[in-house]
Amino acid sequence: MRTLLRLAWHNLRASPVRSALSVLAVGFGVATLVAADGMSRSITSEIARTAEAEAITSFMSEQLDVGLTAVGLVIVLGAGFLTFNAFAMAVAQRRGDFGRLRAAGMTQQQVLGMVLTEAALIGLIGSALGIAGGALLGRGLIELVSATSEMFNRFGDVGASPARMAWAAAAGTLIALWAAWVPARRAVRATPLAALRPPPPDTVRLPPLWPAIIGVTGGVALWLYLALAPPGVWIQPPMASIVSGIFAATWLGCLALILPVLIAATARSVRGLFSRVVGPSGRLASDNLRRHRSHAAFTVVTLAVGVGMIVGVTGYMTFWFEEIFFRISDTALRERPAVGLFPLQADAGLNAYVGVTQFTLPEGLGEEVRAAVGDRATVLPVHFVIVPELAFMGDRYFSFVMDPAELRDSGNMMFTFAAGNWEEAMAIADRGCAMFLTPSVARRQDLWVEDSLRLTTPSGPLACTVAGVGPTFVGASILSDAAAEAFRLTEPVGLVAFGRSPQDHDDLLQALTAIADGHEGVWPMDVNRLTAYQREGMKSVQTAMDGMLILAVLSAGLGVVNTTVIGLTERRREFGLMRAAGATRRQVRSVVVIEGLLFGVLGAVVGMAAGAGVVVVYTTVSGGSSMGFPDFPVWEAALASLRPALGRGLMALLLTPLLTAFVAWIPARHLLRGPVTETLAEGQRAW
Amino acid sequence: MRAILQARKLFKRYGTGEAAVDALRGVDLAVAPGEFVAIMGPSGSGKSTLLHLLGGLDAASGGESLLGEVGLSNLPDADLTRLRRRSIGVVFQFFNLLPTMTAAENVGLPLALDGIAPGEVSARAAGALAWVGLSGRADHTPDRLSGGEQQRVALARALVFEPKVILADEPTGNLDRAAGEQVLGLLRRACDERGQTVVMVTHDDAAAAHADRVVFLLDGQIADELAGPDLSPEAVARARSRLQA
């Protein structure tokens, strides 16, 4: 074991740049996972001092954690691709070394053990760096979000949990081991003699066409089906999520099948153009892309993952916030303007929650408001609770507790029926605890109208009956006020006055502002402004995600450096030959830089196709089913969600090739520094 | 006659400190235009190093290489590259061709690198391929050519710019006798018919006998020279044995 460890360490030191790049890639992934946890814990640590505050803020931190963790896992996966590529190429390069070790008496298992020890060392060192860097990254992201968000402007000073650090490190190490396992297994299977033979000449070979034909056929069939009969118009949860997942995986699978031919076709189609514009350097760059197709494919995939996530996350969040959450509220608020009173200044962002220990309105304020607004408005007292069974996402998404009659009289903003009606709902509410749920929550609990469920409350189980299914405000489930006692609710967290007509808005705002002025710790808030803040919050979450996703693209950039370094080593003599034939350093460097550029373009295009495709698949398959919107305009919503996503994708398409060309230039410059004979020399490894 | 290629007190040291090796120790050599010179010597005697320094492929540690009147050591890299591209053709023993290019494209590479129009590149590459007898192989990639054909393509590439000097580093070392003879015959013709200067490193007495003059290197210095009409493989072998004794 000690010998293996010593050999593995020696090998890592012999290729310092390659080892460092793999370590950094793993480190980026682990750091992201750690930072995600640290950031979400920071939101709740100082703010959620009351049950109500926790109900409101914990869903935000939980969703942020889920989103950022997903990004982190994708970066770890990207690190896996990079490490796989690094090991695949390193193993191919060290074929002769393996042959010599096997000839000297090493068993297959010992050689495999040596390579896996190298991978484990990379994983462990990367994880250690990632844990240390995760704290810094978390702080950096918090600073970024604080600087750009009016809503997320207060964070606690806590780091990631030890449990998160442990599993992030485990994920980093395991992915490195997995990445090394496949190429190492293949390499050690060769006999010592076969391993010592020089590899076959490297020529341009056409990839097999049949996978691409299957991919194109599958893709066309999928899009035709979605165009002609989008499931979003009829599907119900939880099938919506399952079918979305299957279709999205199908789309990504189709792209994966097409990728080798796409790389070869792109390289072939730009060959003539590059030859004319850049000369032999452009021609050779496009040829090399076809020659090293598997290396190219992995590098392109690593880049595509980052870009695809940027596009996908943007589209997904736009769909949820613009097309789902606020679909009804904007129209409803135009018809019936709403003004509320709250025990905090909601437009102060998270700062408003600091030091709040009494998170309810003063006793008797409801009567005062009702008296002030008279017939001009319906006053709806609002309580927030956490009911895991009714959480719209995860298990800490908040639910409302409201008087069903006042809910009915407040208009469409808080709830509209997709199943049931007010007459039956009121009858159910008269019998006890009633629930108004989105189809997403109802289907998850296998419930429909008039079905009952025992809920978890601070006072023990509480049986509630579904009184209606349909879209609710931001997806939160609504319980009737019969549940108030079980949740030990006293005064409400908010009092919202819904005007009878648009003209009532100014009067209501004036009346409620006057009341708030008379009470310490009470603030008025236009609900339109509140929804604007929620949208702002969504953008802040996206800013944090973008910060992480830039790391994903940078991590993919490391993959390009890695591929370039190893490609340069493999083609060292070729470059020397070019120099001997009269190519200047710049001309040889151009070959490498153009290759990097092509990686970037292909990665960005494939990433855009993957991300945009997944967004459209998700939106057309799930439609408005989670909320139960009637006549949901599936394709209109899909395209509206896609627009901002493609905007970011285009930015990635512009910036990624620049990044990849730059990172390819660095090792190329290093390799070509010496005289021609140095470039021609055999047995030397670049970096 | 003024020399086309000169080495003046050429000195080359590899490595530093205790690991330093002096590959060349003050070599003086002058090669006349149109002359075919073979460089011989045991492994490690500095043959290839001398060839590389004469072609500006490596930088000397001391002394000077000249192409005509131009000293190579002080030229900026871009100028040196341009000079090498236009005035010096190089042929190596191995890995002479770029694997993704056809024979014609490999031959036309120096012209294309010089920015010459594609039409002219094609025409001149075809001419060079015809000269080495490979017109029918123009569209073949290296993996579809025999070793001898690959080396003739490499020679065509070295000749395509009609350079004053051709440097060949063991051009027949990896070929069978017949293919080697073809390559050596072409090098001889380059001198005789085109007036080009050839400097060739070789271990092979028969190959060296194609030259006008054979220069023997030993421990980084010129130890002997052989020239004249009676240059034969046997004479070269005798001189080499005498040197090694």
Closest residue, chain B, to A287 (C-alpha): B100
Distance from C-alpha of B162 to C-alpha of B143, rounded to nearest angstrom: 26
3-state SS, A569-612, equals HHCHHHHHHHHHCCCCHHHHHHHHHHHHHHHHHHHHHHHHHHHH
* pLDDT at A352 (0 to 100): 76
DSSP per-residue codes, A220-250? HHHHHHHHHS-GGGT--TTHHHHHHHHHHHH
> From A573, which residue of chain B is nearest by alpha-carbon distance?
B95
Of A195-204, A424-433, A647-656, B158-167, give the lowest mean pLDDT range.
Answer: A195-204
Confidence of residue B153 (pLDDT cuts 50, 70, 90): very high
- Cβ-defined contact of B113 to A587 (cutoff 8 Å): yes
The C-alpha angle with vertex A66 and arms to A64 and A70, in degrees rounded to 5, equals: 115
Per-residue DSSP letter, A472: B
Q: Which two tokens stand for residue A363?
A: 């006793």
CB pairs under 8 A between A and B: 91
CB–CB contact A581 B100 (8 Å): no
Q: Which residues contact A110 (CB under 8 A, 6 or more apart)?
A: A4, A101
Asked whether A543 and A145 are in contact (CB, 8 A), the reply is: yes
Give me A118's structure tokens: 């190298």
Searching chain B, which residue's CA lies closest to the CA of residue A291?
B100
- With a pLDDT cut of 90, the percent of chain A lying above it is 36
Using the beta-carbon criterion (under 8 Å), do A203 and B99 form an inter-chain contact? yes
Per residue in B94-144, pLDDT tens?
767 888 889 999 999 999 989 899 899 999 999 999 999 999 999 999 888
* pLDDT of A570 over the 90 cut: no
Contact yes or no for A115/A166 (Cβ under 8 A): no
Supply the pLDDT for residue A64: 67
B105 contacts in chain A (CB < 8 Å): 283
- Tell whether A677 lies on the interface with B, counting CB pairs under 8 A: yes
Instruction: Give residue-wise pLDDT tens across range A505-553.
Output: 999 999 999 999 999 889 998 988 888 877 777 777 777 777 777 777 7
Residues on chain B bordering chain A, Cβ-to-Cβ distance under 8 angstroms = 52, 55-59, 77-78, 81-82, 84-86, 90, 92, 95-101, 105, 109-110, 112-115, 118, 141-143, 157, 161
Q: Which two tokens stand for residue A361?
A: 């309105």
CB of B5 closer than 8 Å to CB of B54? yes
- Secondary structure, 3-state, B77-104: HHHHHHHHHHHEEEECCCCCCCCCCCHH
Q: What confidence category does residue A340 fall into, taking pLDDT thresholds of 50, 70 and 90?
A: very high
> Of A276, A573, A677, which has the smallest distance from its Cβ to B52's Cβ?
A677
Contacts of A201 in chain B (CB under 8 A): 99, 142-143
Q: Residue A178's closest CA among A296, A305, A71, A77?
A: A77
Identity (one letter) of the amino acid at B102?
T
Contact A583 B113 (CB under 8 A): yes
Nearest C-alpha in B relative to A674: B58
How confident is the model at residue A686, as a pLDDT? Answer: 42
Tokens of A325: 């959450």
Count helices and strands in chain B by DSSP H and E runs: 8, 10
**pTM for this entry:** 0.81
3-state secondary structure of B218: strand
Q: How far is B241 from chain A (nearest CA, A)?
A: 30
CB B114 within 8 A of CB B167: no
Q: Do A580 and B110 touch (CB under 8 A)?
A: no
Strands (E), A87-217: none
- Helix orientation angle between A572-580 and A527-570, rounded to the nearest 10 degrees: 70
